[in-house]
Amino acid sequence: MTHRNGPLIIDYKNMLAGSVSQKHGVLPKEIGSLKKKTSNILRKISSERTRGKLPFLDLPYQDIKKIISLSEEISDSFDDLVILGIGGSALGATALLNALTHPYRNILPKGMRKRPRVFVYDNVDPDQLKGLLDLIDITRTAFNVITKSGETVETIASFLVIRERLKKAIGSGWQNHIIATTDPQKGVLRKIASDEGYRTLEIPQGVGGRFSVFTPVGLFPASVAGIDIEAILSGAQSMDKRCYLKKIEENPASMGAILHYIANTKKGKKVSVIMPYSYALEKVADWFCQLWAESLGKRLDLHGKVVHTGQTPVKALGATDQHSQLQLYIEGPNDKTITFLRVERFTEEVEIPKVFENIEKVSYLGGHSLSELINAEQEATEIALTKAKRPNMRITLPEITPHTVGQLLYLLEVQTAIAGNLYNINPFDQPGVDEGKRLTREILEQK
Ligand code: PA5
């Protein structure tokens, strides 16, 4: 039996031609042809890392004392924490909270939940904000405004609304309810925070939103909710060690990047489905979709040539989406790769009772557990897809723990960085998103 914090097990076999045909699967010679390029990419990444140019890779080794002590203070002083952020400034926290706390944590009765409820508000929908304000007592709530640039329209708009409400409801000392997580020096929020005296946390320079889950962006909300963030980082550290092995075949991030790159550019797999068979990992899939989409979806390559790269990421939840998406995946266009996330041991064991033993269509379930069932469903889906020649791979977590989730998120970040280099694009910018931000401002200014 594997240790609960043991290494993730990654099975690529069904991405290969041997499993899903030469037409749809990756051939060993295609992997071979990218080995040199990938080794060069790993060397480039490692040299950029040494020169401090890829600080996201070193986040697992940071000092987290300040994050922990502030989270203790907030946890002791408030009933609720509300995150105001969007995109990379919200999805990491959401992923960690959903993966590593009780599935219905925010609606548990107070006695069953020791620390504050944590809500993530990542939109500018007035009805949603009003709904959230109905739920909380603003005088007992802390707000964590998260924006790297300090000026993202959605986050700043929500912040301005909340700031006014806090001033009105609390009067003197309202500033104690705000924690600003932003760039250490630059941006409007940094200036406002220092002018008005908010407590602040820093997003290290050079770490972009979607690579910021291991900064206070993800770690502070997680710590307020009582998650062991040190263990998250130690999981990321162990994946870091695995991702820098010399042989490409033993480096899971390189293999994931190479296989998806070939599937996309040589086998017409335009869509990358991520399918956790675990409710806890559903938001990790959302986080991954942003990471894969925003990092790889680029118009220009590094030489300025128009390339329009990227695979469209899609989330599907097992077993729920077997009854929604799966028909399409098995029989529709063969234009997808599927990555399963599987959990070997769930925290809870729920036995299915042995009843109706004379009814064949029900009795076969009796005596099995729900975790056996969900994993059997994952296996069945994998077999069905493979039979239909649909390339797929599986990442297995021994259990969902801070350590294994740390491993998973770090793996996917490094895989994305390597894939960006295979496409020869910059995985760390987002000119399309930036243009959307600019245009929104222009439209509002004209009104
Ligand atoms: O990954 C990214 O860089 C983006 O998704 C940003 O996180 C998002 O646009 C929010 O930006 P900011 O943190 O500057 O408010």
What is the CB neighbour count within 10 angstroms for residue 45? 20
Same-domain check for residues 203 and 279:
no
Same-domain check for residues 314 and 173:
no
pTM: 0.97
Q: Is residue 89 part of a domain?
A: yes
Ligand 1 pocket test, candidate residues 433, 438, 440, most atoms within 8 A of CB: 433
Same-domain check for residues 40 and 99:
no
Q: Is residue 58 part of a domain?
A: no
Q: Is residue 54 part of a domain?
A: no
Q: Is residue 443 part of a domain?
A: no
| CATH of residue 36 | 3.40.50.10490
Q: Which domain holds residue 193?
A: 64-227
Q: How far is CA 21 from the centre of its chain?
A: 31
Same-domain check for residues 204 and 73:
yes
Give dist(CA 353, CA 363) in Å, integer: 9
Q: Is residue 124 part of a domain?
A: yes
Same-domain check for residues 317 and 429:
yes
Of 210, 227, 244, the residue that ends a domain is 227
Between the CA of 100 and the centroid of ligand 1 the distance, in Å, is: 23
Between the CA of 88 and the centroid of ligand 1 the distance, in Å, is: 5
Q: With CA atoms as reference, report the closest residue to 91 among 197, 213, 269.
A: 213
Q: Is 92 in the pocket of ligand 1 (CB under 6 A)?
A: no
* Surface-to-core class of residue 254, CB atoms within 10 Å of its CB (0-12 exposed, 13-18 middle, 19+ buried): buried
Whole-number Cα distances in Å, 294 to 124, 208, 287: 21, 11, 11
Of 184, 200, 227, the residue that ends a domain is 227
Same-domain check for residues 178 and 39:
no
Between the CA of 433 and the centroid of ligand 1 the distance, in Å, is: 9
Q: Is residue 2 part of a domain?
A: no
Ligand 1 pocket test, candidate residues 91, 94, 148, most atoms within 8 A of CB: 148
Same-domain check for residues 203 and 140:
yes
437 Cα nearest atom in ligand 1: 9
Please list the active-site residues. Answer: 294, 323, 437
Q: Is residue 287 part of a domain?
A: yes
Same-domain check for residues 219 and 246:
no
Q: Is residue 253 part of a domain?
A: yes
Residues 10/404, Cβ–Cβ less than 8 Å: no
What is the CB neighbour count within 10 angstroms for residue 240? 20
Q: How many domains does the chain have?
A: 2
Of 184, 203, 227, the residue that ends a domain is 227
**Residue-by-residue pLDDT tens, the chain, 447 positions:** 679 999 999 999 999 999 999 999 999 999 999 999 999 999 999 999 999 999 999 999 999 999 999 999 999 999 999 999 999 999 999 999 999 999 999 999 988 999 999 999 999 999 999 999 999 999 999 999 999 999 999 999 999 999 999 999 999 999 999 999 999 999 999 999 999 999 999 999 999 999 999 999 999 999 999 999 999 999 999 999 999 866 888 999 999 999 999 999 999 999 999 999 999 999 999 999 999 999 999 999 999 999 999 999 999 999 999 999 999 999 999 999 999 999 999 999 999 999 999 999 999 999 999 999 999 999 999 999 999 999 999 999 999 999 999 999 999 999 999 999 999 999 998 888 888 878 887 888 888
Same-domain check for residues 267 and 192:
no
Same-domain check for residues 183 and 282:
no
* Strand residues in 242-398 grouped as ranges (E): 271-276, 312-315, 336-343, 392-397
Q: Is 208 in the pocket of ligand 1 (CB under 6 A)?
A: yes
Same-domain check for residues 206 and 92:
yes
Give dist(CA 425, CA 432) in Å, integer: 14
List the structure tokens of 434: 């930036």
Same-domain check for residues 269 and 125:
no
